[in-house]
Amino acid sequence: MIVGTEFQGDSIRIGMIQHDSYGEALRIIIDFAIDKHRHAERVVDVRTELSDLRDELNSFDHRTLQWLHDRMAVAFRMDYCLNADLFTYSTPDPHTPAQTVSFWLDFLRKELARMFSHHLELPRLILTAAAYPNP
């Protein structure tokens, strides 16, 4: 993850917390894509080359998913920093790093579910980026 300010009022502190949970966030992105891809495979009852690569996937080059992750991280920070009054958390600010990670990863899961429901090709594209070698 590349940490920097993307908008006025952006928080480097929150960006660094996201940076420290980068691996966990990437795993969530991959796991969501794998889940949706497997479901689609069961629905259409067709296995592809990507299915085989997906099932053998135990590591990947993070750089192919970095842009997607970083954009979603910015969206979270924008909500967190600029629309904090819209959050209905019972814990008063400032949140601990562990709480912020929890909020971030919850946001990521919800955003992935929303994006995947509107962009049905996204799981395949994410898996393609992760499964094939980065030239």
pLDDT tens, position by position, 43-100: 999 999 999 999 999 888 899 999 999 999 999 999 887 776 555 544 445 788 999 9
Q: Residue 7: inside a domain, yes or no?
A: no
pLDDT at 38 over 50: yes
Q: Per the domain annotation, does 4 fall within a domain?
A: no
pLDDT at 91: 41
The Cα–Cα gap between 3 and 13 comes to 9
Residue 72 lies in a domain: yes
Has residue 102 got a pLDDT over 60? yes
Q: Tell me, yes or no, whether 68 lies in a domain.
A: yes
- Check whether the bond before 135 is cis (ω within 30° of 0): no
Average pLDDT, the chain: 89
Please, are residues 131 and 60 in contact by the beta-carbon 8 Å criterion? yes
- The whole-number average pLDDT for the span 29-50 is 95
In order of 19, 23, 82, the CA distances from 8 in angstroms are 19, 27, 9
Give the residue numbers spanning the domain of 63: 12-131
What residues have CB less than 8 Å from 90, skipping those under 6 apart? none
Whether 56 maps to a domain, the answer reads yes
Round to whole Å and give the CA distance between 40 and 42: 5
At residue 90, the pLDDT reads 45
Helix axes 63-82, 22-44, angle to 10 degrees: 110
In this predicted model, which residue has the larger pLDDT, 133 or 55?
55
Residue 21 lies in a domain: yes
- Is 49 inside a domain boundary? yes
Give how many domains the chain has, as a whole number.
Answer: 1
Would you say residue 1 lies in a domain? no
